[in-house]
Structure 1
Amino acid sequence: MDRPPPGERPKKKSGRRQAEPDLFEAVVPAANSTTAVRFAGTDNPRYLRALHALLLRPVPREHLDRAAGCSNGPDLVSNLRDLGLGPTGLPCTFIPDRDQDGKKIRRGVYHLTEAGRRAVNAWLRLRDRKAGE
């Protein structure tokens, strides 16, 4: 117990109980934490094929077109982002590459982030649970 310095009176305790500080008063996310992503889900077979390809590995736009069966992958990705994945859950990374003529290009590669992958998997589990009822 701490004693007051000599010559000072000890502080009296009031009869009131002091409010304890809240442990979670000012929650600040860690610098390396991920942003929460909530995927609303879809019944569109084209979107489901695209999600399946994205769950397997990062895919360039051309591969996404073939896997989903469409000719406008960026629009498909935009629609998936509108369903809740957003650019946080489904970003496009530009990779330096060369085209068939040898010119330098930046190839767009779509991939699910960890937050996007968790959101899609959570939606799939929920969908499977509802289908089993």
Structure 2
Amino acid sequence: MNAPDPTGKPKPSSANSAEFVGTDNPRHLRALAVMLRRPISRQELDSVAGCANGPALVSDLRDRGLTIDCDRIHFIDRDGKDCRPGVYHLSEGDRRKIHQWQAKGRQRGGSA
């Protein structure tokens, strides 16, 4: 017998589940809105979403059924040092899941 999830988070069967379970969290919604338009760096995600821990926000969205890829890019920081910041982007499968979830919300008369 499975013990209940102590976090209370919805649990899809896996991160690659066929369905995004959705969210009503304003930070999640702001992050998804920008990622549907373009890739976004971790630092910019913090600013756009209004959070201090973009990777935790992305982890929450992954727990809800998205994969959200992160590519490490080469970058030279202000001190001239090579660094590898992450840039998040949605796969085509993620985009499809989000659009399906939004369409379900519109069918029910809710806002997506």
How far apart are residue 68 of structure 1 and its match?
0.4
Query: Could you tell me the percent identity over the aligned residues?
Result: 51
How far apart are residue 131 of structure 1 and its match?
1.6
Contiguous gaps of at least 5 residues in structure 2 = 1-15
Contiguous gaps of at least 5 residues in structure 1 = 1-34
Point out which structure has higher relative CO (alpha carbons under 8 A, 6+ apart). Answer: 2
List structure 1 segments (4+ residues) > 4 angstroms apart after TM superposition: none
Report the counterpart of residue 98 of structure 1 in structure 2: 76
Count of residues in Structure 1 that have an aligned counterpart in Structure 2:
95
1:43 equivalent among 18, 24, 33 = 24
CA contact (8 A) 2:17 2:65 kept: no
For the pair 1:59 / 2:40, whether they are aligned, the reply is: yes
Of structures 1 and 2, the larger Rg is shown by 1
TM-score, normalised on structure 1? 0.68
How far apart are residue 107 of structure 1 and its match?
1.2
User: What is the 5 A alignment of 1:1-133?
Assistant: 37-85=18-66, 89-131=67-109
CA RMSD of aligned residues (A): 1.3
